[in-house]
Amino acid sequence: MKQFEELFQTADWKTEKHVPVIECPDRVKAGEFFPVKVTLGKEIAHPNTTEHHIRWISAYFHPDGEKFPYQVGHFEFTAHGESTEGPDKSSIYTHHEVSLSMKTGKSGVLYATALCNIHGLWRSEKEIKVSK
Ligand SMILES: [Fe+2]
C-alpha cells in the first residue's frame, strides 16, 4: 500500500503540463501582503474540457521551524463545458488559474497542489524569504 504523499507527482513545469506554477516574490517584507498566482500549463497548455480538466488547486504555507503548514487557499473549478446538450456544449469554462494575497512574519515554503480529473495529484513548492 502506498502512503498518500507518494500519490503526489511532480516534475519540471517547463516540460510537464500538470505541475502547478507558483508566481510570487522570492523575498517579501514581514507583515506586508504580497501577491501569489498559481496556474498549470504555463509552457504547455493543459486541456480544459468536460472529459479532461483541472478540478482544484490548494495552497499551503509552511513557516520555517514550525511543525504544521497553514492552508492559504483552496480553489475549485466547476464549469468545464458540460450542458444538457452534452459534453463541451455550454461554452462555459473556468480556467485553472488563481490569484491570492497573503502575508507572513516568517520565511518558509509555499506548496501548491492540484488535481487533474484523469491524471491525478500534482504538487510543487517555492521558497519565500522574509526580510525584516
Ligand atoms: Fe490532465
Q: pLDDT for 93-125, tens place per residue?
A: 999 999 999 999 999 999 999 999 999 999 999
The predicted structure's pLDDT at residue 66: 98
CB 95 within 8 A of CB 114: no
What separation in Å is there between the alpha carbon of 80 and the centre of ligand 1? 13
Question: Which whole number is the average pLDDT over 31-60?
Answer: 96
51-80: b (≥16 Cβ within 10 Å) or e: eebbeebbbbbbbeeeeeeeebbebebeeb
CA of 71 to the centre of ligand 1 (A): 24
CB proximity list for 111: less than 8 A, separation 6 or greater: 59, 60, 61, 62, 69, 123, 124, 125
Cell output for 132? 525584516
Give pTM, 2 decimals.
Answer: 0.94
Q: Which of the residues are catalytic?
A: 16-18, 46, 52, 116, 119
17 pLDDT band, cuts 50/70/90, is very high
Which runs of E-coded beta strand occur in 1-131?
A: 8-9, 20-23, 27-29, 34-40, 54-63, 70-76, 97-102, 108-116, 120-131
